[in-house]
């Protein structure tokens, strides 16, 4: 199958991990994939944002910067249309981004099925975390993109509910969660009693990840065993967390590895005794959870619907009430006192990856099956969704 992959990613963070993993899995299965996106993506460093995007957002009033983002849709659409004319794809696969309508427009112009990967309600997320100057316009364009896809592929059922509320028909939604390359994670080492016990976290470190609460809990921990924390990653919250660790007197027990290349992640996670997901937005499919599962680690995560789509309390993880500040530490205490429980949960978590094929290779197979169904529907003469008026419903 010939797949034209459209994106607007300009940074090497979790978005880039997802993109690279899906493209690699599709190509490994014999499909021809052509990427169309910002040229800066190929030059971006791990964890780095596009410098010109950052400068633009800082220099311009918020609404003006967003209009510039929307204006970028014109050259983005032109590049995608040119690639479609040359490549003659069977399907367009697009990663949804705010103010990005290239996939919908080219799909409509060239009568090609469009699969739209949706990782977050981006208008809502930007308004909450980064601020939006034109929230109504952003939300309207986002819904327009969702409804213009032949199939929308949210990463969780919770997010699927947002798409339903945005006007996407249920039969046009297929949930495809994040995944893992299982062959990168060897069989986990045997679980043993250790002192100190190593808590671990993987990810780009931001304020809403809840690591400040982990540090406070470590400072109050009486033990035994003693606790240490390894944070694999970097980000805007790192400096404040390091300062907090010093102020709490636990800096000698907290280690930040900084940015780690993907090939180093499995070995680093294998060194955790307890893998932490201290907090999560309500609609996400956290990449770190799949890494923890593949590594056979005992996981502590918040008990909320999107997490329960992957983890099961008491069988593959210990889930805590995110409204209870003591909940995470009650779970850590249970795991600290029982190597057997850590081993059982870790083995079950890795087994769940195998049982449900929560891998990028599995996701590639699912996406191709969805694409084949849309192509077959065209062959049967079914009306194409992308031939609806471009304006959509306001």
At 255 the three-state DSSP class reads strand
Q: What pLDDT is stored for residue 53 in this prediction?
A: 55
Backbone angles phi, psi at 87, to 5 degrees: -85, -30
Q: Quick check: 374 and 113 in contact, CB under 8 A?
A: yes
C-alpha dist (Å) from residue 259 to 65, 268, 342: 29, 12, 27
Q: Classify 31 as helix, strand or coil.
A: coil
Q: Same structural domain for residues 291 and 380?
A: no
Query: By the 8 A CB rule, do 89 and 155 touch?
Result: no
Closest CA to 295 of 267, 263, 254: 267
Q: Are residues 217 and 129 in the same domain?
A: no
pLDDT mean by block of 10 residues, the chain; 394 residues? 94 81 97 92 57 58 81 93 97 96 95 96 88 90 96 98 97 96 88 87 89 94 91 92 96 93 92 96 96 97 98 98 93 94 97 97 97 86 45 34
Per-residue 3-state assignment (H helix, E strand, C coil) for 362-389: HHHHHHHHHHHHHHHHHHCCCCCHHHCC
Give the structural domain span for 167: 2-179+359-387
What tokens were used for 153?
């592929």
State whether 209 and 335 are in the same domain: yes
Give the pLDDT of residue 60. 64
70 part of a folded domain: yes
Q: What is the pLDDT of residue 280?
A: 94
Q: Based on the fold, state whether residues 199 and 108 are members of the same structural domain.
A: no
What confidence score (pLDDT) does residue 242 get? 96
Output the CA angle 134-285-236, nearest 5 degrees. 60
- Taking the CA atoms of residue 90, residue 17, residue 317 and residue 308 in that order, the dihedral angle to the nearest 10 degrees is -40
Looking at the structure, do residues 204 and 268 belong to the same domain, yes or no? yes
Same domain, 318 and 260: yes
Closest among 299, 335, 328, 342 to 225, alpha carbons compared: 335
Helix (H, G, I), strand (E, B) or coil at 340: helix
The answer to whether 267 touches 185, Cβ cutoff 8 Å, is no
CB atoms within 10 A of CB 50: 17
Residue at 30 is within a domain: yes
Q: How many residues does the chain have?
A: 394
* Contact status, residue 114 vs residue 92, Cβ threshold 8 Å: yes
Report if residue 10 sits inside a domain: yes
Residue 394 lies in a domain: no
Q: Is residue 311 in a domain?
A: yes
Regarding whether 26 and 90 lie in a shared domain, the answer is: yes
Q: Is residue 225 part of a domain?
A: yes
**Measured distance CA(165)–CA(147) in Å, rounded:** 11
Count: domains in the chain: 2
Q: Are residues 154 and 280 in the same domain?
A: no
pLDDT of residue 70: 86
- Strand ranges (DSSP E) for 68-137? 91-95, 114-118
**Does residue 348 lie in a domain region?**
yes
164 plus 279 within the same structural domain? no
Secondary structure class of 323 (helix, strand, coil): coil
Phi and psi, residue 13, nearest 5°? -130, -150
> Which CATH number does the domain housing residue 173 bear?
3.40.50.2000
Count of H-run helices and E-run strands, the chain: 17, 11
Going by C-beta distance under 8 Å and a sequence separation of 6 or more, which residues neighbour residue 54? none
| Phi (first) and psi of residue 200, to 5 degrees | -140, 150
Same domain, 137 and 195: no
DSSP per-residue string spanning 315-351: TTBEEE-TT-TTHHHHHHHHHHT-HHHHHHHHHHHHH
Specify whether 88 is located in the same domain as 223.
Answer: no
pTM: 0.90
Asked if the structure places residue 55 within a domain, the reply is yes
Say if residue 196 is in the same domain as residue 146.
Answer: no
For 221, the 3-state DSSP assignment is coil
């Amino acid at each position: 199958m010939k797949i034209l992959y459209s994106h607007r990613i300009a940074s090497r963070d979790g978005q880039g991990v997802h993109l690279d993993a899906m493209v690699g899995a599709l190509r490994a299965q014999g499909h021809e994939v052509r990427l169309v996106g910002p040229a800066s993506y190929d030059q971006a460093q791990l964890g780095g944002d596009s410098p010109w995007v950052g400068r633009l957002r800082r220099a311009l009033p918020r609404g003006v910067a967003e209009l510039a983002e929307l204006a970028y849709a014109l050259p983005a659409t032109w590049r995608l249309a040119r690639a479609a004319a040359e490549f003659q794809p069977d399907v367009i696969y697009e990663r949804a981004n705010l103010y990005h309508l290239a996939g919908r427009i080219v799909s409509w112009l060239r009568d090609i099925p469009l699969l739209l990967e949706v990782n977050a309600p981006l208008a809502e997320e930007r308004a909450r975390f980064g601020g939006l100057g034109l929230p109504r316009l952003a939300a309207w364009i986002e819904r327009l993109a969702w409804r213009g896809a032949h199939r929308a592929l949210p990463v969780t059922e919770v997010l699927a509910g947002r798409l339903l509320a945005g006007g996407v028909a249920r039969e046009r939604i297929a949930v495809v969660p994040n995944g893992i390359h299982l062959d990168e994670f060897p069989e986990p080492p045997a679980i043993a009693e250790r002192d100190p016990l190593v808590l671990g976290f993987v990810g780009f470190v931001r304020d809403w990840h809840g690591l400040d609460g982990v540090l406070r809990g470590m400072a109050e921990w009486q033990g035994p065993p003693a606790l240490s924390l390894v944070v694999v990653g970097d980000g805007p919250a790192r400096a404040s967390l390091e300062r907090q660790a010093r102020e709490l007197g636990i800096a000698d027990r907290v280690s930040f590895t900084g940015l780690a290349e993907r090939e180093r992640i499995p070995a680093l996670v294998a060194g955790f005794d307890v893998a932490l997901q201290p907090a999560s937005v309500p609609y996400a499919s956290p990449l770190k959870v799949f890494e923890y599962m593949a590594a056979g680690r005992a996981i502590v995560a918040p008990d909320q619907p999107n997490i329960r789509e992957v983890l099961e309390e008491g069988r593959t993880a210990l889930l805590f009430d995110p409204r209870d500040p003591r909940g995470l530490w009650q779970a850590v205490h249970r795991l600290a006192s029982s190597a057997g429980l850590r081993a059982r949960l870790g083995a079950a978590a890795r087994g769940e990856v195998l049982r449900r094929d929560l891998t990028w290779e599995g996701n590639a197979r699912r996406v191709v099956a969805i694409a084949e169904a849309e192509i077959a529907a065209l062959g049967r003469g079914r009306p194409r969704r992308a031939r609806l008026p471009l304006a959509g419903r306001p």
